[in-house]
Amino acid sequence: MKAELEQLKIEAFQLLNRAQDSSAVDALEIDLLGRRGKLSTLLARIPELPVEERSGIGTLASSIRKELQDAIVAKRGQFSAPTSQSLDFDPTWPGHSPSIGHLHPVTAFLERSADFFASLGYTIADGPEVETATNNFDRLNIPANHPARDLWDTYYLNPARAGLLLRTHTSPVQVRYMDSHKPPVYIISPGRVYRHEATDASHDTNFTQLEGLAIDRDLHLTDLLGTLEAFLKHTFGKVKVQVRPSFFPFVEPGVELHMSCLLCGGKGCSACKQTGWLEMLGAGMVHPTVLKNMHVDPAKFSGFAFGIGVERMTMLLHGIPDVRLLLSGDQRFLEQFHY
Ligand code: FA5
């Protein structure tokens, strides 16, 4: 009987160790120590034992019962929720300070740029990211079936009608704004744009542009270039730029502004496609047809417009080698840009 009691104890501890939750512990307690449990069943056989074997059995059984009861209580404690009393809880310890967010580098760039243009008298105009093909293309002098539409890889929302799309640039805000305003106007319009294109270090499928539009009497290309030069000086200090002729159907003449790649010092890298130069913005004098589409008389007024690639500017400003990092949402990357 003594050997059976010792064996019962060993098995009971093994089962208890394996218990996964408090209901398993409860079941084990009934099975071991209940009125019809294993211990009671064993002890019920005491009267059948020869007298000489009975001595000491009662004491051994009581000590095993006590050991098992203590172990069951301890095991149950593992599954109950800790309380401030059960933990080593010291309310006088300093707490964890909450992590405070900061502006995304693209947002910070836009805010600084908006301040600069506000100082020149520009106001901010907004437009929707879901745009009509008419505003995104037709009114900007890019009729349906014109090959110039191929310049933009467009996400159409309804391919059957091709009436709605995710805007490919912020230029449609120009015509929207002029539906309800008369010159002189000086506006900027920051916002998200979308293009269905293969990504690389300087191209993403959605990015930010900062559009600018000025319409007044006697505006010339030199006014555009002077404005852009002042903006770049404000943003970067001294930088090397090239103004190259370019084609955008809504301006005439059109230009592209390229900046010497600050990531590689002009030597060539993946961001500037080994050329040493990075295209930063498109610009030009508003095309007379577009002025007419804006209800403006081209004989009386002229205008200039520009569309800045905000992520590319942010890349060069902070030495970020890949545009895709900016939308990665990786906190280890973003935490480097506290403002
Ligand atoms: C345009 O979107 C014209 N609307 C700009 C414009 C406005 C011209 C007003 C004339 C007058 P473009 O497709 O080149 O142009 O884009 C403008 C800038 O956005 C580029 O110079 C570049 O800096 C940036 N950009 C273009 N594609 C991407 C891309 N996939 N990822 C990140 N930046 C881009």
Is there a catalytic annotation at residue 93?
no
Domain CATH for 155: 3.30.930.10
Substitution site in 155, 165, 194, 279 for ligand 1 pocket (most atoms within 8 Å of beta carbon): 279
Measure the CA–CA gap between 291 and 178, rounded to whole angstroms: 9
Q: Which residues contact 239 (CB under 8 A, 6 or more apart)?
A: 232, 233, 259, 260, 262
Q: Examine the domain organization and report whether 46 and 148 are in the same domain.
A: no
Distances (CA, A) of 64 to 18, 25, 42, 43, 153: 19, 17, 12, 12, 80
Q: Does residue 97 sit within a domain?
A: no
Q: Examine the domain organization and report whether 55 and 121 are in the same domain.
A: no
pLDDT value of position 267: 92
Q: Examine the domain organization and report whether 30 and 158 are in the same domain.
A: no
Cis previous bond, 184, omega within 30: yes
Q: Examine the domain organization and report whether 21 and 152 are in the same domain.
A: no
Q: Examine the domain organization and report whether 180 and 50 are in the same domain.
A: no
Measure the CA–CA gap between 291 and 190, rounded to whole angstroms: 21
H or E segment at 239?
none
Q: Examine the domain organization and report whether 22 and 170 are in the same domain.
A: no
Is there a catalytic annotation at residue 305?
yes
Q: Does residue 88 sit within a domain?
A: no
**Average model confidence (pLDDT) for the chain?**
91
Q: Does residue 90 sit within a domain?
A: no
Is there a catalytic annotation at residue 195?
yes
Coil vs helix vs strand at 65? helix
Domain end call among 13, 45, 80: 80
Is there a catalytic annotation at residue 209?
yes
Q: Are 214 and 181 in contact (CB under 8 A)?
A: no
Q: Examine the domain organization and report whether 147 and 33 are in the same domain.
A: no
Substitution site in 248, 270, 272 for ligand 1 pocket (most atoms within 8 Å of beta carbon): 248
Instruction: Tell me 86's DSSP state.
Output: T
Atom of ligand 1 nearest to the CA of 151: 13
Which pLDDT tens digit goes with each residue over 229-250?
999 999 999 889 999 999 999 9
In Å, how far from its chain's centre is CA 80?
39
For helices 310-318 and 221-236, what crossing angle results, to 10°? Answer: 40
Is there a catalytic annotation at residue 169?
yes
Q: Which of 61, 106, 173, 251 is catalytic?
A: 251
Expressed in angstroms and rounded, the spacing between residue 281 Cα and the centre of ligand 1 is 6
Domain that holds residue 57: 2-80
Which pLDDT tens digit goes with each residue over 318-332?
999 999 999 999 989
Rg over alpha carbons for the chain, rounded to the nearest Å, is 38
Q: Examine the domain organization and report whether 118 and 21 are in the same domain.
A: no
Q: Which of 185, 305, 310, 323 is catalytic?
A: 305
User: What value, to the nearest 5°, has the Cα angle with vertex 58 and ends 56 and 63?
Assistant: 95
pLDDT value of position 85: 60
Q: Does residue 87 sit within a domain?
A: no
Q: Examine the domain organization and report whether 159 and 279 are in the same domain.
A: yes
Q: Cβ(304) to ligand 1 under 6 A? A: no
Q: Mean pLDDT, to the nearest integer, of 247-269?
A: 93
Q: Does residue 89 sit within a domain?
A: no
Which pLDDT tens digit goes with each residue over 130-177?
999 999 999 999 998 888 887 788 899 976 666 899 999 999 999 999
What pTM, to 2 d.p., does this model score? 0.74
Question: What are the strands of the beta sheet with 130-132, ordered from one edge?
Answer: 130-132, 164-166, 155-156
Measure the CA–CA gap between 261 and 268, rounded to whole angstroms: 8
Expressed in angstroms and rounded, the spacing between residue 204 Cα and the centre of ligand 1 is 11
Burial of 62 (0-12, 13-18, 19+ CB in 10 A): exposed
Q: Examine the domain organization and report whether 44 and 124 are in the same domain.
A: no
Domain end call among 80, 113, 132: 80
* Alpha carbons within 13 A on the beta-carbon side of 312: 24
Q: Examine the domain organization and report whether 216 and 293 are in the same domain.
A: yes
Q: Cβ(251) to ligand 1 under 6 A? A: yes
Q: Which two tokens stand for residue 296?
A: 């403006």
Q: Cβ(195) to ligand 1 under 6 A? A: yes
Is there a catalytic annotation at residue 251?
yes
Q: Which of 139, 149, 167, 195 is catalytic?
A: 195
Q: Does residue 233 sit within a domain?
A: yes
Count of domains observed in the chain: 2
Q: Is the pLDDT reported for residue 52 higher than 80?
A: no
Q: Are 307 and 289 in contact (CB under 8 A)?
A: no
Coil vs helix vs strand at 9? helix
Q: Examine the domain organization and report whether 130 and 51 are in the same domain.
A: no
User: What value, to the nearest 5°, has the Cα angle with vertex 170 and ends 212 and 182?
Assistant: 55
Residues in a beta bridge with 165: 131, 156
pLDDT value of position 160: 66
Q: Does residue 339 sit within a domain?
A: no
Q: Does residue 203 sit within a domain?
A: yes
Expressed in angstroms and rounded, the spacing between residue 318 Cα and the centre of ligand 1 is 20
Which pLDDT tens digit goes with each residue over 193-229?
999 989 999 999 999 999 999 999 999 999 999 999 9
Question: Scanning the structure block, which residue is given the tokens 């095993």?
Answer: 64
